Amino acid sequence: VATLDSVDLNGKKVLLRVDFNSPLNENKKIIDFSRIKIHVKTIGELIDKNASVVILTHQGRPGMEDFSDLSEHSLLLEKELGYKVNFIDDIIGPHARNSIFMLKDGEVLMLDNVRFLSEENIEASGDFHSKSYMVRKLAPLFNYFINDAFATAHRKHASIVGFPYVLPSLAGRVMESEVIALKEIRDPKISPKIFVLGGTKINDSIRIINNILKNSNSSTRVLLTGLVSELFLFASGIDIGKSNKEKLEKLGGISLLSNAKSILLNYKDRILLPEDFVIEGGGVVDIKELPKKEGLIKDIGEKTIEEYSNIMREAKVIVLRGPAGVIEEKEYMKGSIELVKNAASTNAKVILGGGHLTAVLDFIPENLRTRIHNSSGGGALLLYLSGEMLPGIEALSFSASKFNLDGI
């Protein structure tokens, strides 16, 4: 792929896709802005190179609680950059296009949540998306497209795969450093690899777990926490209690039960499930007691932390992705903090799969924190490590060869 070193960006207008998707609290306020911080390097370099920069990103998904506009993101970026960021609440309309057209060298403009556009959310090829309204309306205004959103590189969305089809495209510094850092770890000979997977993106998790286990040797194991572990426990015939079943149902888990069952059937010994949980109110219950004790699952319990930490000790590579509990509420952060801390205390290479779990890093002692490669990617990272090619990276290499750009 081509990088910021491949072309002269002085006086050029660039469309920069970043990933500012951040965890929000119930008032839709950002609770951790590391995703914004990581892109500051790329944006700062583009300003120094005298390019005019238009930033495009998403936040949440339509219909989910963390779906919001980007006014707060732009203010936080401005603070981090120490440089004026003009935010406009438009993406492809006349207001946006006119502001892009008028933008001067060295200025920064941020557009609103790209997922406000329905066509962005379609999974399709670069060719298809190059004909989308967004690409047709925006691409003619730019000299280059830059993708720095490694964390969204697994999505075949218009803003990821559409622009490289029609504009010479480059990898930003975040994208470039991830590709370089993860190359070595992808090697199947480096094993055992232990994946500790939690969070609430159960749809993605099914695909990821399946890929990891299918593409790796028998020493690779997957330790589940979070909502995804509740899904697998339920699929394995454990009664997780009425309120937890209702929660799963609300989040689309029931339709995934058969997939979870077949994964369990194929890879039973390589998937570990929690033995105990902390439920709402703070009580710890063994999984067998869940139907009796009735209460929403909020975190993993002590026994699970210990069991998972023992397994991690044998690993050469440990990848953690997704919180073990509801870390937005401080009292349920413990499982996630302990797992990250104990992983960093082993001799393994430790990779934290971006997104919401990054919030626990503030609670990890400095000497351990420096041992962790804090990847900007969550789902993208795992798919990449499981051997899949990412559409976002493929689109960049397609563009580099189409427009004859040199790169890494």
Q: What is the contact surface with ligand 3PG in residues (CB under 6 A)?
A: 19, 21, 61, 151-152, 155, 201, 355, 378-379
Shortest distance in whole angstroms from residue 79 CB to ligand 3PG: 21
Q: Which two tokens stand for residue 37?
A: 């911080």
Is residue 266 a known part of a binding site?
Answer: no
Q: Which of 11/62 has CB closer to ligand 3PG?
A: 62
Cβ proximity to ligand 3PG, 153 vs 312, nearer residue: 153
Q: How far is the CB of 114 from ligand 3PG (least distance, A)?
A: 11
Residue in the shown chain whose Cβ atom is closest to ligand 3PG: 21
**In the complex, what is the shortest distance from the CB of residue 73 to ligand 3PG, in angstroms, rounded to a whole number?**
13
Residue 180, amino acid: I
Residue 223: CB minimum distance to ligand 3PG, A: 20
Minimum distance between the CB of residue 21 and ligand 3PG, rounded to whole angstroms? Answer: 3
186 is in an annotated binding site: no
Cβ-based nearer residue to ligand 3PG, 9 or 324 = 324
Instruction: Please say which residue, 19 or 338, places its beta carbon nearer to ligand 3PG.
Output: 19
Q: Is 59 annotated as a binding residue?
A: yes
Residue 313 annotated as part of some ligand binding site? no
Nearer to ligand 3PG, 162 or 355 (CB): 355
Annotated ligand binding at 20? The verdict is yes
Return the structure tokens found at 50: 């005298």
**Cβ nearer to ligand 3PG, comparing 157 with 298:** 157
136 is in an annotated binding site: no
33 is in an annotated binding site: no
Q: How far is the CB of 381 from ligand 3PG (least distance, A)?
A: 9
Known binding residue 35? Answer is: yes
Cβ 70 to ligand 3PG, closest distance in Å?
13
In the bound state with ligand 3PG, the residue whose beta carbon lies nearer, of 301 and 354, is 354
Binding residues for (2R)-3-phosphoglycerate are: 35, 115, 155
Binding residues for ATP are: 328, 354-357
Binding residues are: 19-21, 35, 58-61, 115, 155, 328, 354-357
